[in-house]
């Protein structure tokens, strides 16, 4: 430590296997919240989320799908609006999430972004998304694109989530679902299976260790009160 004069030794820790894997494994099913980004009557992001939910349930997970109908624009209503309360309670309940949006004008939809914006970075002493797993998907009206999943990854990082490596982008989504609104067999469907399988694995790996994984030197060093006073200075 003599070579690290800037380190506060009282709060410096060396990560170790014993602490990381000391937590007993939870026995309840992984809790996954799924969000989609379209209000169309035949929303392909909703249909893809429905397929994802079926797969997750088959893999032993408990799922909840949030319906964004009636969710107000961010800041247009108070946080006690019933749809906002519902979304935030589901975010607290979940141990992992799936986000799926259509691509519109080269980006995620406003409906998708509004849902994420209503989930606070912190609520009291709790960060609703920190340390939780995330899988990202998108549907395209035309050729395959990765604009939306890339943007969702940025938001996942900002929300301090563990975004899994795999992802799904379904081109010409209107061709990938049958008349019963079920996804047809294809390599795109197989990729969705891969993504959900990976999400469940990462959720099982992370959920009992998220507190330790997100424990930070800087936050141990600086108390919550001091941090709040600093970030709320008018000069910042």
Residue by residue, what is the 3-state secondary structure of the chain?
Answer: CCCCCCCCCCCCCCCCHHHHCCCCCCCCCCEEEEEECCCCCCCHHHHHHHHHHHHHHHCCCEEEEECCCCCCCCCCCCCCCHHHHHHHHHHHHCCEEEEEEECECCECCHHHHHHHHHCCCCECCECCCCCCEEEEEEECCCCCCCHHHHHHHHHHHHCCCEECCCCEEECCHHHCECCCCCECCCHHHHHHHHHHHHHHHHHHHHCCCHHHHCCCHHHHHCCHHHHHHHHCCCCC
- How much is the pLDDT for 225? 52
The structure's pTM equals: 0.89
- How much is the pLDDT for 204? 96
């602490």: which residue's tokens? 19
Q: How confident is the model at residue 142 (pLDDT cuts 50, 70, 90)?
A: very high
Assign domain 28-231 to its CATH architecture.
3-Layer(aba) Sandwich (3.40)
Q: Which tokens sit at 39?
A: 């209000």
Residue 211 has pLDDT above 80, yes or no: yes
Instruction: Tell me the pLDDT of the chain averaged across its residues.
Output: 92
- How much is the pLDDT for 232? 67
So where are the chain's domains?
28-231
For the chain, the C-alpha Rg in angstroms (whole number) is 20
> What is the tens place of the pLDDT at every residue in 97-111?
999 999 999 999 999
> What is the tens place of the pLDDT at every residue in 36-46?
999 999 999 99
- How much is the pLDDT for 16? 87
Residue 235 has pLDDT above 70, yes or no: no
């Amino acid at each position: 430590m003599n070579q690290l004069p800037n380190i506060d030794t009282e709060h410096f820790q060396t990560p170790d296997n014993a602490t990381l894997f000391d937590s007993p494994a939870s026995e309840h099913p992984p809790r996954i919240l799924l969000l989609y980004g379209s209000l169309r009557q035949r929303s392909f992001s909703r249909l893809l989320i429905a397929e994802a939910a079926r797969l997750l349930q088959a893999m032993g997970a408990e799922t909840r799908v949030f319906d964004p109908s009636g969710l107000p624009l961010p800041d247009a209503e108070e946080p006690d609006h019933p749809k906002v309360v519902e979304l935030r309670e589901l975010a607290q309940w979940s141990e992992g999430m799936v986000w799926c949006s259509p691509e519109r004008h080269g980006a995620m939809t406003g409906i998708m972004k509004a849902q994420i914006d209503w989930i606070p970075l912190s609520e009291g002493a709790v960060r609703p998304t920190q340390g939780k797993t995330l899988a990202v998907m998108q549907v395209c009206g035309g050729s395959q694109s990765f604009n939306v999943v890339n943007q969702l990854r940025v938001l996942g990082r900002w929300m301090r989530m563990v975004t899994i490596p795999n992802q799904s982008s379904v081109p010409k989504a209107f061709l990938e679902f049958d008349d019963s609104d079920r996804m047809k067999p294809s390599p795109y469907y197989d990729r969705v299976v891969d993504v959900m399988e990976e999400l469940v694995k990462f959720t099982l790996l992370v959920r009992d260790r998220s507190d330790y994984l997100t424990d930070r030197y800087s936050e141990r060093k600086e108390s919550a009160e001091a941090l709040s006073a600093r970030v709320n200075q008018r000069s910042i």
